[in-house]
Amino acid sequence: MLPTRMERANGAATTRTLAGRAQARTRVLVVEDEGDIAGLIRHTLERGGDVAVDVAMSGDEALKVATADPPDLIILDLNLPVMGGLEVCRLLRSRPGTAGVPIIMLTARTSEGDRVTGLDAGADDYVTKPFSLRELSARVRAVLRRGRGDGAAPAPAVYRGRHLVADFDAVSIAVDGEPVRLTRREFELLKYLVENRSRVLSRDRLLERVWGYDRLIETRSVDVHVGRLRGKLGEAGKQIETVVGLGYRFVE
Ligand code: CA
């Protein structure tokens, strides 16, 4: 592969970490203490040539690496020695530099309770072990697409559904052509749900992103606001699904 312009410009400075840090490629940090699994993931993701993988073997190392130079995505094993994946996830989410980095959690457990805990800790998605590498790759691509949706290159700010037309830049919401008046919070809630459509969002996640993290607010107030928002949106309100035990999802 030819070096990118940035690699050439930086010359020797990037040579040391070229494989893991090439700027033009998507950078994924894999946090997994089992070397075989980490190696397989690295091999799979790097095969296409557009992803560069770094591996951290412990939670502590992951925090250091991710904080020093936040990657585009983190694949985080739940089962790590000393500091577990959930704790790593919470710490990453609590730090400004890494709060927005998408996280896919790897978990050997399959109970709904563990999935909820993972999503509540701030994971964007989870894959249960044993997983197929093809499935993991697909999840990585999906999360990266979503990340671009609310990140560097925002998705179009106008959503047009069967009933709902929401122009988020103009702060104009209409259902079946009739304008709908939303409170600031309801508007932000709808915007976040729509921007992350098809994706399950936990109550904690919504609180964090829509309200700004505040432990004084109960997760119950998310339900209250979703209820009011649904009521105001009429037919389009049905697009906000309750995912039992997990949270909410905006569907097409
Ligand atoms: Ca492990």
Question: How many angstroms does the Cα of residue 62 sit away from the middle of ligand 1?
Answer: 13
For residues 29-51, average pLDDT: 93
Question: How many angstroms does the Cα of residue 215 sit away from the middle of ligand 1?
Answer: 31
Question: How many angstroms does the Cα of residue 235 sit away from the middle of ligand 1?
Answer: 46
Question: Rounded to an integer, what distance in angstroms lies between the CA atom of residue 227 and that of residue 243?
Answer: 14
Question: Rounded to an integer, what distance in angstroms lies between the CA atom of residue 210 and that of residue 202?
Answer: 12
Question: How many angstroms does the Cα of residue 40 sit away from the middle of ligand 1?
Answer: 13
Residue 177: CB atoms within 10 A of its CB come to 7
Question: How many angstroms does the Cα of residue 189 sit away from the middle of ligand 1?
Answer: 35
The residue with greater pLDDT, 49 or 192, is: 192
| 8 Å CB contact between 89 and 68 | no
For residues 87-109, average pLDDT: 87
In order of start, what are the domains of the chain with their CATH numbers? 5-148 (3.40.50.2300), 158-250 (1.10.10.10)
Question: Rounded to an integer, what distance in angstroms lies between the CA atom of residue 121 and that of residue 113?
Answer: 12
Q: What tens digit of pLDDT does each residue of 148-162 get?
A: 544 444 455 789 999
The dihedral over CA atoms of 147, 216, 76, 80, expressed in degrees to the nearest 10, equals: 170
Question: How many angstroms does the Cα of residue 187 sit away from the middle of ligand 1?
Answer: 40
Decide: pTM greater than 0.75.
no
Question: How many angstroms does the Cα of residue 241 sit away from the middle of ligand 1?
Answer: 34
Question: Rounded to an integer, what distance in angstroms lies between the CA atom of residue 30 and that of residue 74?
Answer: 6
pLDDT level of residue 177 (50, 70, 90 thresholds): very high
Buried b (16+ CB within 10 A) or exposed e, 59-95: bebbbebbeeebbbbbbbbbebeeeebbebbebbbee
pLDDT of residue 111: 65
Enumerate the β-bridge partners of residue 166. Answer: 159, 173
Question: How many angstroms does the Cα of residue 85 sit away from the middle of ligand 1?
Answer: 9
DSSP string, 71-83: -SEEEEES--SSS
pLDDT of residue 234: 96
On the question of pLDDT at 24 being above 80, the answer is no
pLDDT level of residue 110 (50, 70, 90 thresholds): low
- Do strands 51-56 and 26-31 pair parallel, antiparallel, or not at all (unpaired)? parallel
Question: Rounded to an integer, what distance in angstroms lies between the CA atom of residue 237 and that of residue 186?
Answer: 12
The residue with greater pLDDT, 94 or 151, is: 94
Q: How far is CA 215 from CA 3, 37, 115, in A?
A: 48, 37, 22
pLDDT level of residue 143 (50, 70, 90 thresholds): confident
Question: How many angstroms does the Cα of residue 175 sit away from the middle of ligand 1?
Answer: 48
Residue 124: CB atoms within 10 A of its CB come to 23
pLDDT level of residue 189 (50, 70, 90 thresholds): very high
